[in-house]
Structure 1
Amino acid sequence: MASGLLLSSLLVVLALISSSNAAPNGRIVGGVDADIGQFPHQVSLQREDGSHTCGASIISENYLLTAAHCVVVGNGIEPYPAKYFQVRVGSIQRTVGGQLLKLKRILVNKAYGNFLNDVALLELEKPLVFTANIQAIELAEEEVPTGEDVIISGWGRLYTNGPIPYRMQWNTLKALTVDECEEAIGMGDDSLICLAHQANNGACNGDSGGPATYKGKLVGVAGFVVGGCGSTYPDGYAKVAYHRAWIRENAGV
């Protein structure tokens, strides 16, 4: 079952980015506690036993957006049955508060592979009722200018192999261009947005599938880290603007 740690195709990626001497090996480090209602779009994707595995974002009354690797079987593109998961919405605590909801269907981007196109849609069994703490987030349509602040949030580990927080964390990273991403980790691709940070900051295991936002819009879906959580390498996020057509086609938003 998916654990929020992206290890598939590791040898392939090692070859792709051998010049950087680092490889993607996972999914907030250096973050701070979120306030109630600060991230009403943020969702905890959980196994049916209630254990947190990934993040997700509310994009409509019926659909959530997450990472493909959070829900697929092995290294393929087929998802686990929707009944194996649940989501907690409307709470900054991953174990209490808000509502626990069941999924009706999981749809994975068929182009997912080698850390790219790492997006999936979660259709809810019943439509959400929006409140102050449960809101959809607008999808970005444009690139984030290089050097601009991007906000990430989630319940990922506080450091590599560290504890998972009960309260949602958030941090501020910096957007890079495709060329800058290529130079930094050898993975410059139009479907990716790389987010730079200082050491001991960034995403970690359990943040996968969670949101990256810019000016209140969803710009990225957490995918992988390079060289361990909180390294000096940028983190890789699926670029929402690039995947917007696929999202609109399949979720109607």
Structure 2
Amino acid sequence: MTAMTRFGSRLRTALALAVVATVASVAGAAAPASAIMGGTTSGVLRGQVNIWVNYGNTYACTGILIGAQWVLTADHCVPDDPNTIRVWVGDRRPKHGQQITVRGWSNEFKRRDAALLELSWPVQNTQNVVRFNAGPSLLKAGVTVAVRGWGGEYPNGPIPQSLKVCSMRVGASVVDQMRLDSGDGTPMKGDSGAAVWQGDLVQGMIITGNELNDAIALQTSVLAGWIEAVSGIKGVRT
């Protein structure tokens, strides 16, 4: 059993118990999530950026543009040396639009699988910047959400030529995480860091999944204080 499978199994079990007990405790670091399998080609770009490592030669993850110079993504996507990262913004096609290097990064102090990338200069089109939920409200089980990313279209498959989107349903929701059940598609490797959307507000970020029928996301509400402390960016209180 892989580390990713073990982590996903533990987390799904904890979330299932949380529906009854209303609390859950999950240990361990998240392994990479899967890419969107199924779903459709997205007709819009909503704050998504594609993140490349190895000086822009290797696709890594999806990210969320939360400020003109700040990207939220999964911590496991970030190499030790931020100088090797290249972020592409402003286009649904991977490696198109504006290419920006990274000045530095910060990971979430409680060791959740979240990181902030500080871009070396601001993006050209600030209309791509998106809003995120700062709490205290959480999504309830049964709510339908959307996930957009550049993850592979099947396990170990190539990334798509354009951004993809799928709908998912919240299966369980606790203070810091939520389990998302597959709707018309499932996140795959490369979709880590992708936003979980309800309407025009980001509610979470994909961190792991089983590449079959579910994914695990961090709630942005639990990250909001850290995001503001590092970047000065405030989320939307709900």
Same fold flag (TM > 0.5): yes
1:131-185, CA deviations, whole angstroms, 9 ceiling, x for partnerless residues?
A: 5xx511111133113211111011101111222212110011011333xxxxxxx
Counting only pairs closer than 5 Å after superposition, residues 186-201 of structure 1 correspond to structure 2 as 189-198=174-183, 201=185
Q: Which residue of 35, 38, 41 maps to 1:33?
A: 41
Q: Which residue of 1 aligns with 2:116?
A: 121
Determine whether 1:218 maps to 2:202. Answer: yes
Contact 2:100–2:120 (CA<8 Å) still a contact in 1? yes
Determine whether 1:45 maps to 2:47. Answer: no
Label 1:126 to 1:162 Cα distance change in 2 as closer, same or farther (>3 A): same
Contact 2:169–2:180 (CA<8 Å) still a contact in 1? yes
Q: Measure the CA separation in 2 of the matches of 1:16 and 1:215.
A: 26
Determine whether 1:139 maps to 2:138. Answer: no
Label 1:10 to 1:111 Cα distance change in 2 as closer, same or farther (>3 A): farther
Counting only pairs closer than 5 Å after superposition, residues 1-253 of structure 1 correspond to structure 2 as 8=3, 26-27=33-34, 28-35=36-43, 38-47=44-53, 48-72=55-79, 80-96=80-96, 98-112=97-111, 117-130=112-125, 134-140=127-133, 141=135, 142-178=137-173, 189-198=174-183, 201-226=185-210, 229=211, 231-232=212-213, 234-253=214-233
Q: What's the offset of the Cα at 1:25?
A: 6.8
Q: What's the offset of the Cα at 1:10?
A: 5.7
Q: What's the offset of the Cα at 1:14?
A: 5.6
Q: Measure the CA separation in 1 of the matches of 2:49 and 2:130.
A: 12
Aligned length in residues: 214
Matched AA of 1:41: G
Contact 1:81–1:106 (CA<8 Å) still a contact in 2? no
4+ residue runs over 4 A deviation: 7-20
Q: Measure the CA separation in 1 of the matches of 2:62 and 2:206.
A: 8
Q: Percent identity?
A: 22
TM-score, normalization by structure 1: 0.76
Q: What's the offset of the Cα at 1:11?
A: 5.1
Matched AA of 1:94: P
Q: Measure the CA separation in 2 of the matches of 1:209 and 1:160.
A: 17
Label 1:153 to 1:88 Cα distance change in 2 as closer, same or farther (>3 A): same
Partner secondary structure for residue 59 of structure 1 = strand
Contact 2:32–2:207 (CA<8 Å) still a contact in 1? no
Higher share in strand: 2
| RMSD of aligned Cα (Å) | 2.5
